Structure 1
Amino acid sequence: MIKSLWHTQTTTELRLQNTPDLSAAQSKVISKYSMISLGTETLVLNKKIPETIKEYMKVPHMEGNFDLPIKYGYALSGVLNNGEKAHLMHPHQDNCFVDNKAIFKSCQELPLTRIPLISNMETVINAIWDSNVTKTDSIVVCGFGNIGSLLASTLKHHYNFEVKVIETNVWRKQKAIELGFEIYNDNNGFDIAFNTTSNEEALQFCIDNANEEGQIIELSWYGKSNTSLKLGENFHKNRLRLIASQVSKIPIQKRKEFDYFKRKLLAVDILKNKIFDKLITNIIPFDEVPDFFELVRKNKTPNGLIYLIKY
């Protein structure tokens, strides 16, 4: 039997399913850690996926549908029968039976806890590419959660850029300070803002404080939520650019140089830095994950940056 996580209309639960037969072109991956993509998974369990993009938002090996119940999740690490480490796009599940071509194995140098971060690191890479950021730009990262902490740490430690953090949550703000980031709290503008908050007030702050011809790279996904922005003031006066960035497509200007496999290799290379271990703040035993999501449903999510499930 295999055990997997399902979101229903009212709760989150672990379900047992029969073990499928393996073909010659398939392998078993014994799960070790999976990453909770908190923003997206919160939208999923609250049924806030827009009707027009439900097909687009399906993930590999998902079961059920966005009207719930659904077996949903993002990325995990595991080991093969021969002991090799593996990265896999798969919902939260203790053992996975998948086509060999779905398994990414060029991650042997990473610890199993860092391997699930590969997919979100690809999101970070896309955002950096979308921004065309340079050493002369003044940079802020708005929001120091999962994506924000990964992005700020990558800019600082891999690309050696100066980065300031905007964060209203006291716990996350303190974590950013402990990790060596300066908190943005002055009247000076900035050239590039990366918004990771899924919060329209934060996005408006980025727009209102960007320098002339500044860029706001919007990494958030709002689902069905409406946003109300004032675009008649600084946005108009300063000729700002608001750019949507997300992971599913490589930016056009990078497609001659990178395909999806090469982008994953870059993500692995960046994640070799041990600094990223400090972003993994919450490791939740698989059997306790339904309790975690019950807190999410009640808007009582425990403080954290990156949340991992341990199998």
Structure 2
Amino acid sequence: MSERNGTGMTEEEAVTRGTPEPCALWYQGQERCGLERVSHRKPQPGEVFVKALYSGVSRGTEGLVFRGQVPQSEWQRMRAPFQEGDFPFPVKYGYSSVGTVLEGDTALVGRTVFSLYPHQNVYTLPANSCMPVPDGVSPERAVLAANMETALNAIWDGKPSPGDHICVVGGGVVGLLTAYVAGKLPGSTVTVIDTNPEREETAKALGLYFALPQNAPRDQDIVFHTSANAAGLATALECAGDGTSIVEMSWYGAGNVAVSLGADFHSRRLKLISSQVGTIPFERQPRWTYRRRLETAMSLLEDPVLDCLITHRIAFRSLPEQLPKVLNKASDVLAALVVYEEQIC
């Protein structure tokens, strides 16, 4: 197993308080990944040293990274906050980690925190890049915070209202979270559309309706699309009522998608709106910071029913072997939780 060490640190400097050797997942090449030892350092003033408990796999974004489908035009915009390496490969990529603060900022020592850190067992980062996990949110559920941010941003972009009939096409984690938040609007009726009939049980657990594409409701007041395929987008257009907005949340990477903007698209005055979590909607930017958005997203995770979204658990040591299955588009995985244990890389 190789080691990436450009700091000249000694082995003693690299490991703090007898914790496991610092080890991270790297996407090494197209559809190749592996665990590699990484250099590490003790926290300086204003920093914290974190031992990971769990991290979450983003099947959509990390799937594109794994397959080498991040377009060159997006190589800089797509950089994760603590990414190492450069696209296309090799890159240490990920953005949903929950761990315990062992050293550093005294206000955080002993706390469970969330950060936008890649899959790594121990790491040091600025204290202000961590968010304490509220008592009402379990460490496992906290890994969904980045997904919930995406859902919250989409709700802002789509602007659904109380009493609306709302449709979400695509029953993955982000789609289900978007539907869950929309379902909290008084009087709203929210339907999740997916080709996988097994998603019905999850949708109903979240208090939502479910339909297969052929049974999808029509004349909806707002439609969110998260399926990342052309057939799903076509279904979203069919579900939309006249004058309705379709919020496109899918990101296709380097791929192209065919969309039917002929037929009745113009006569029905449909609107196709892009939504991307990388920026806060313009009208909110004077008041909302990324920190405030993340805090809000975390608070929305206090409902234990959301545990049903975590369908798979993967030991960190077996992540390279399991990731190809998890990131397969045909996989039945919703949220995959990476579980960190005492080990040497």
What TM-score does the superposition give when structure 2 sets the normalisation length?
0.84
User: Any stretches of 5+ residues in structure 2 without a counterpart?
Assistant: 1-20, 103-108, 341-345
Q: CA deviation at 1:250?
A: 1.1
Q: CA deviation at 1:159?
A: 6.0
- Superposed CA deviations along residues 60-89 of structure 1, whole A, max 9, x for unmatched, are 221122221211111111111221111111
**Residues 84/270 of structure 1: CA separation in 2 closer, same or farther (3 Å cut):** same
Q: Which residue is equivalent to 2:304?
A: 274
Q: Pick from 138, 141, 147 the counterpart of residue 168 of structure 2.
A: 141
For the Cα contact (< 8 Å) 2:163–2:186, is it kept in 1?
no
- Separation in 2, partners of 1:135, 1:298: 37
For the Cα contact (< 8 Å) 1:85–1:108, is it kept in 2?
no
For the Cα contact (< 8 Å) 1:208–1:235, is it kept in 2?
no
Matched, 1:114 2:134: no
Q: Which residue is equivalent to 1:233?
A: 263
- Separation in 1, partners of 2:254, 2:63: 12
Say how many residue pairs are matched: 310
Q: CA deviation at 1:287?
A: 1.3
- Superposed CA deviations along residues 249-296 of structure 1, whole A, max 9, x for unmatched, are 111222244222221221122111112112111121111211222325
Q: Pick from 62, 71, 81 the counterpart of residue 60 of structure 1.
A: 81
**Which segment is superposed worse, 155-164 or 78-87?**
155-164
Q: Which residue is equivalent to 2:50?
A: 29
- Separation in 1, partners of 2:24, 2:59: 17
User: Any stretches of 5+ residues in structure 1 without a counterpart?
Assistant: none
**Which segment is superposed worse, 87-96 or 24-33?**
24-33
For the Cα contact (< 8 Å) 1:172–1:304, is it kept in 2?
no
For the Cα contact (< 8 Å) 1:141–1:163, is it kept in 2?
yes
Percent identity (aligned):
32
Q: Which residue is equivalent to 1:93?
A: 120
Matched, 1:244 2:271: no
- Superposed CA deviations along residues 168-208 of structure 1, whole A, max 9, x for unmatched, are 02332443245443223256321211111111111122113
For the Cα contact (< 8 Å) 1:149–1:305, is it kept in 2?
no
Larger Rg: 2
Matched, 1:4 2:29: no
For the Cα contact (< 8 Å) 2:170–2:194, is it kept in 1?
yes
Q: CA deviation at 1:123?
A: 0.8
**Residues 160/99 of structure 1: CA separation in 2 closer, same or farther (3 Å cut):** farther
What secondary structure is seen at the aligned counterpart in 2 of 1:234? coil
Counterparts of 1:286-297 in structure 2, within 5 Å, are 286-296=316-326
What TM-score does the superposition give when structure 1 sets the normalisation length?
0.93
For the Cα contact (< 8 Å) 1:74–1:89, is it kept in 2?
yes
Q: CA deviation at 1:133?
A: 0.4
Counterparts of 1:184-263 in structure 2, within 5 Å, are 184=211, 185=215, 188-263=218-293
Q: Pick from 77, 95, 99 the counterpart of residue 74 of structure 1.
A: 95
